[in-house]
């Protein structure tokens, strides 16, 4: 399963959960450098560290990860989107699949939840992760800004903005923000509030 894993934490990534549980089980005595034949090298950060040392401890960590899922009826080839989610309280706690991983895995898109429980029923419930994200580029008209609030604007499940952006985050569907006065006027919601000193 791990040899076929795409080494990503996308919704359709199969095996990411197996690696996560394995990596959680690996016992590093001091640092991750102890676990690799080629330690981290700041002059080659893309290719180091690499070549995990295969020991009795790492074999046991993998065996424990596999047993954890098999004992709890979780398929080893499940997609991350099937297992990792947040809830939409406005829609009877409907699951919204979430991509991302744990920081310890070396994942930039960090998503966190409570530690897995013994029966794996809440294996990857996500209740913490990215908040406001913004990417800015430029074209011949000026700034091009895309943004998202991964957990949306409102914690109130009765509001229309409770999980709207969370669903967009799940789909990696960024929102283009208005920049010019005309774009702002077109997308304005509600009355204009003028602030004065």
pTM of the model: 0.80
pLDDT attached to residue 67: 94
Distance of CA 108 to the CA centre of its chain: 8
10 Å CB burial of residue 83 (0-12, 13-18, 19+) is buried
Over residues 150-178, mean pLDDT: 90
Share of the chain above pLDDT 90, in %: 43
Three-class DSSP category at 14: strand
Q: Tens digits of per-residue pLDDT, 19-36?
A: 999 988 887 665 666 788
pLDDT of residue 12: 97
Interval 94-119: pLDDT, tens: 999 999 988 878 788 888 776 666 66
C-beta of residue 98 within 8 angstroms of C-beta of residue 109: no
- What integer is the mean pLDDT of 144-164? 89
Residues present in the chain in total:
197
Q: How many CB atoms lie within 10 A of CB 99?
A: 23
How confident is residue 122, by pLDDT bands cut at 50, 70 and 90?
A: low
CB 106 within 8 A of CB 119: no
Dihedral (Cα; 65, 70, 74, 79), 10-degree rounding: 60
């Amino acid at each position: 399963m791990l040899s076929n894993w795409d080494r990503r934490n996308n919704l359709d990534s199969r095996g990411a959960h197996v690696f996560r549980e394995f990596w959680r089980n690996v016992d590093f005595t001091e640092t991750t450098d102890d676990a690799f034949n080629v330690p981290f090298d700041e002059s080659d950060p893309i290719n180091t560290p690499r070549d995990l040392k295969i020991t009795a401890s790492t074999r046991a960590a993998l065996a424990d990860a596999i047993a954890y899922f098999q004992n709890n009826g979780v398929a080893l080839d499940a997609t991350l989107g099937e297992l990792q989610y947040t809830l939409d309280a406005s829609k009877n706690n409907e699951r919204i699949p979430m991509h991302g991983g744990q920081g310890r895995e070396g994942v930039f898109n960090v998503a966190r939840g409570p530690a897995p429980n013994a029966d794996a029923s809440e294996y990857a419930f996500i209740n913490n992760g990215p908040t406001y994200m913004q990417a800015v580029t430029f074209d011949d008209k000026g700034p091009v800004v895309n943004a998202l609030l991964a957990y949306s604007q409102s914690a109130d499940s009765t509001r229309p903005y409770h999980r709207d952006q969370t669903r967009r985050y799940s789909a990696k569907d960024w929102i283009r923000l208005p920049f010019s006065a005309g774009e702002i006027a077109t997308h304005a919601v509600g009355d204009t509030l003028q602030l004065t000193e």
